[in-house]
Amino acid sequence: MAVKRMDNIGIVVEDLDGTVDFFVELGLELEGRAAIEGEWAGRVTGLGDQHVEVAMMRTPDGNSRLELSRFVRPPVVADHRNAPVNALGYLRAMFAVDDIHDTLERLRPHGAELVGEVVDYQDVYRLCYIRGPEGLLVGLAQELG
């Protein structure tokens, strides 16, 4: 059987409210928030007794989701947020936007910082990487023409 779809990408954060605000400003919609805890949840993740606050974000087309999680327990054990672009493992999420420069201006008050430069790729895309809240790496792509 083939994969039906990619359901979501999960990102663990410390400041759930601030990260939700960042992604709402980017254009995602808050689909819902919940606290997840209990014996069943620990069996799924292998973390045992856990309590996680989750915010599910949805892209405007409804096809993609981003699950933001803040662990109350157990405590976070590693931090990969400031890894460089060529680090192994999770790298970034890329979002298509209407206007990359307008998007950057709207996201700067929410902690967005340009990683390199905004560049045009063969008159097809305008691209950049930004660091969002907590150093999360996010790619932005604007179709040209």
pLDDT in tens, 98-109: 999 999 999 999
pLDDT top residue among 125 and 4: 125
pLDDT top residue among 80 and 21: 21
> Mean pLDDT over residues 68-88, rounded?
86
Alpha-carbon span 137 to 3, nearest angstrom: 27
Write down the pLDDT at residue 1: 66
Question: Which range has the top average pLDDT, 38-52, 87-101, 129-143?
Answer: 129-143
Q: For residues 2-37, b (16+ Cβ closer than 10 Å) or e, as one string?
A: eeeeeeeeebbbeebeebbbbbebbebeeeeeeeee
